Amino acid sequence: MPKLYFSREFKEIVAPEGRDLRTIAAEQGLQIYAGLHQLLNCRGRGLCGTCKVRVKPQEVCSPRTGAEIAKLPQTDDTVRLACQTFVFGDAEVQTFPRPRQGWMEHKVYQHLIEE
């Protein structure tokens, strides 16, 4: 059974292998959603993109789904959607991750840099 360390909450959890991070966090009373998104979210379907977490190492997680590829910036591979990430080994999870890249490095603004 994988051990998950939620770094912002300073909490270590032993979870069943192959479960998604959203369900694991909810069962342990850990908050994944910020603000109004606690009430207004897609309930784990990968549609809203509001359950972002940073997971290290990526080798113990399931591959990215189509929903993750569509909703997340491609600049940081460690940011995942908790509802679409299934864990199969020990990992560190950071809730409410802050972006590492500046706004100009985001894929939406790449056309401004390339000109």
Contacts (Cβ under 8 Å, ≥6 apart) of 29: none
How many of the other CB atoms lie within 10 Å of CB of 29? 8
Mean pLDDT along residues 39-55 = 90
Q: What is the CATH number of the domain that holds 83?
A: 3.10.20.30
**pLDDT exceeds cutoff 60 at 51:** yes
67-113: pLDDT as tens digits? 899 888 777 889 999 999 999 999 999 998 766 555 444 555 444 44
Bigger pLDDT: 36 or 17?
17
Model pTM?
Answer: 0.80
**Amino acid identity, position 67:** A
What is the number of domains present in the chain?
1
Residue 42 domain boundaries: 3-114
How many of the other CB atoms lie within 10 Å of CB of 114? 6
Q: State how far the Cα of 28 lies from the Cα of 71, in Å rounded to an integer.
A: 26
